[in-house]
Amino acid sequence: MKALVVYESLFGNTARIGEAIAASLRANGLEVEHAPLSEVSAGAAEADLLVVGAPTHAHGMSRAGTRKAAVEDKKNTFPAAAAMPGVRDWMEDLPSGSGRLAAAFDTRFDKPRFLTGSAAKTIAGRLEQRGYRLVCPPESFFVTGENTLEGGETEHAAAWGTDLADRASAGAGR
């Protein structure tokens, strides 16, 4: 089974989570390609399992204005952020999933979702609209007020990747 893990990352946190998920999927027997959105065209998303991640900005997926603010933030030490397209725009060109499997994740502050919003929830909805079949509910990974990952989140991502691999293997047979 082939998996594609793609992500938008503005402070590097979502990239680290995406890399941990990809490594876990690979360790569980999937053939995995992973990359930031800037390196993958939406048309290349022909994998058996598509995993899409993004940071939560202003209660959902980033917009041009929130990406610009993140790039200009003095705490941002992730130079690739300036070149990253947004997942919102990337998904506009996403071809039909034709029932292929998908999953969505985000990074956000560790507060109730009604306060922070969730990019993953919106991504999941858009994947379903495009004809993808979600293998699990959207997942969130938490960052601190200093825009760094909370302790244990890369391990959380690896465990989620193992669960995704199991669910994708079971779901592929449907």
Q: Across the strands, what pairs with 6? A: 35, 52
Domain borders along the chain are 2-172
Q: Across the strands, what pairs with 49? A: 3, 101
pLDDT for 40:
77
pLDDT surpassing 80 at residue 137: yes
Contact between 113 and 98 under an 8 Å Cβ cutoff? The reply is no
pLDDT digits (tens, 9 = 90+) for 16-50: 999 999 999 999 999 999 888 777 766 566 789 99
pLDDT digits (tens, 9 = 90+) for 146-163: 888 999 999 999 999 999
Under CATH, which number does the domain 2-172 receive?
3.40.50.360
pLDDT surpassing 70 at residue 53: yes
pLDDT for 143:
93
